[in-house]
């Protein structure tokens, strides 16, 4: 068994225009001061990383890694969540998703999608330059607007959507493979890959590609009422990344899983700071250790109530206290009788 690495923190929810969240140097110093050992970097935040430069300049990535190391932290992974979303976007979301891309491609879905694909290819090379072996992203969604089948979906609609999703992602998966990187899809509502069944539908279409792996985040399964512990048992061989994020689900006579179009604070299901929600992290960390998860435990902070800096400070200690330093020997070794094959055969009555 292996001891999980951490604590680490995903910087996306903290990056901003003011210190200490405005530069990679400042935010690494801030994270280290809270006790984090790693930082996961959102590649769409230009103040933290120049993705094209990271893909084309080993000198630049060495400088980035050196900046992190100066403060005693590592870059754990890069993320292209927003760019991945744009690899496959249904037209109903075009106006809103333009905000995920540069102004030069706004109003031009084809150009926007091409931009997103280029971003993923750069992410593969940038990860290699940084010596990283995992990368986080979203799958995007073509079928999501048709999630609830009323009126009944036309025959073959979902199948065609997933066929197209696979066609778009296969070249990217191959690029990741060429660079020695596992592409880890965050299974998430709003994406066509939002639970185990949809992931399997996709995996079949990409011919069980060895790089089509998973970012595990139990908070999204609480909101869907999916068994997030059984999920680890089923998919542990494909889980290569881990977001430590809490959530709660408190249905009432007025609303349930769909949330009634309410703001986060008023939803039955909502994200919470670590320890304030309902996720059984003791069992999760035990299962991750049991299955030899070799990656990082990364805080992703999202909470409708608590201040983010309080959540970040508390999260470092929470993760640290949940990481299991795995044993190197069996607990009952002291009672071993030291028998051998001959003795075992005698005990079984075979001699």
Average pLDDT score over the chain: 96
Q: ω before 7 within 30° of 0 (cis)?
A: yes
pLDDT of residue 77: 98
**125-146 pLDDT per residue, tens:** 999 999 999 999 999 999 999 9
**232-289 pLDDT per residue, tens:** 999 999 999 999 999 999 999 999 999 999 999 999 999 999 999 999 999 999 999 9
Radius of gyration of the chain (CA): 22
- Confidence category of residue 332, pLDDT binned at 50, 70, 90: low
Alpha-carbon span 152 to 155, nearest angstrom: 9
**pTM (predicted TM-score):** 0.94
Q: What is the CB neighbour count within 10 angstroms for residue 293?
A: 24
Identify the CA nearest to 9 among candidates 349, 324, 276, 319.
319
pLDDT of residue 90: 98
The 3-state DSSP class for residue 246 equals strand
Domains along the chain with CATH numbers: 5-347 (3.20.20.150)
The answer, yes or no, to whether residue 327 has pLDDT greater than 80, is no
Beta-carbon contacts of 214 under 8 Å, excluding residues fewer than 6 positions away, are 184, 185, 187, 199, 235, 238, 239, 240, 241
Q: Give the chain's end-to-end CA distance (angstroms, integer).
A: 36
Alpha-carbon span 234 to 1, nearest angstrom: 18
Alpha-carbon span 268 to 273, nearest angstrom: 16
The 3-state DSSP class for residue 77 equals strand
Can you point out the beta strands (E) in 225-307? Answer: 239-244, 246-249, 269-272, 296-299
pLDDT of residue 329: 73
The answer, yes or no, to whether residue 333 has pLDDT greater than 70, is no
Compute the Cα dihedral for 220, 224, 225, 229 and give only its sign. Answer: negative
């Amino acid at each position: 068994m292996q001891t999980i690495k951490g604590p680490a923190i995903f910087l996306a929810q903290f990056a901003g225009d003011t210190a200490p969240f405005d530069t990679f140097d400042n935010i690494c110093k801030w994270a280290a001061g809270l006790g984090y050992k790693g930082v996961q970097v959102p590649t769409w935040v230009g103040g933290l990383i120049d993705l094209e430069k990271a893909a084309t300049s080993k000198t630049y990535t060495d400088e980035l890694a050196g900046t992190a190391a100066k403060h005693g932290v590592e870059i754990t992974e890069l993320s292209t969540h927003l760019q991945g979303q744009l690899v496959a976007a249904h037209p109903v979301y075009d106006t809103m998703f333009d905000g995920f891309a540069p102004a030069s491609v706004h109003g031009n879905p084809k150009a926007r999608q091409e931009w997103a694909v280029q971003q993923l290819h750069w992410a593969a090379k940038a990860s290699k330059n940084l010596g990283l072996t995992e990368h986080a992203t979203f799958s995007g969604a073509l079928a999501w607007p048709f999630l609830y089948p009323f009126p009944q979906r036309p025959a073959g609609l979902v199948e065609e959507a997933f066929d197209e999703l696979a066609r778009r992602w296969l070249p990217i998966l191959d690029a990741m493979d060429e660079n020695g990187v596992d592409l880890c899809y965050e299974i998430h509502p709003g994406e066509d890959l939002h639970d185990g069944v949809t992931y399997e539908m996709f995996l079949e279409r990409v011919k069980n590609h060895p790089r089509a792996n998973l970012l595990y985040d139990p908070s999204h399964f609480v909101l869907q009422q999916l068994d997030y512990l059984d999920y680890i048992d089923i998919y542990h061989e494909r889980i290569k990344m881990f977001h430590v994020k809490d959530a709660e689900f408190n249905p009432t006579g007025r609303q349930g899983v769909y949330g009634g179009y309410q703001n986060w604070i008023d939803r039955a299901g909502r994200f919470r700071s670590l320890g304030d929600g309902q996720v059984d992290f003791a069992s999760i960390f035990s299962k991750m250790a049991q299955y030899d998860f070799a990656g990082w435990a990364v805080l992703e902070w999202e909470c409708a109530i608590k201040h983010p800096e309080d959540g970040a400070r508390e999260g470092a200690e929470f993760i640290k206290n949940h990481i299991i330093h795995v044993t190197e020997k069996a607990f009952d070794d002291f009672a071993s009788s030291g028998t051998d094959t001959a003795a075992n055969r005698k005990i079984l009555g075979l001699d």
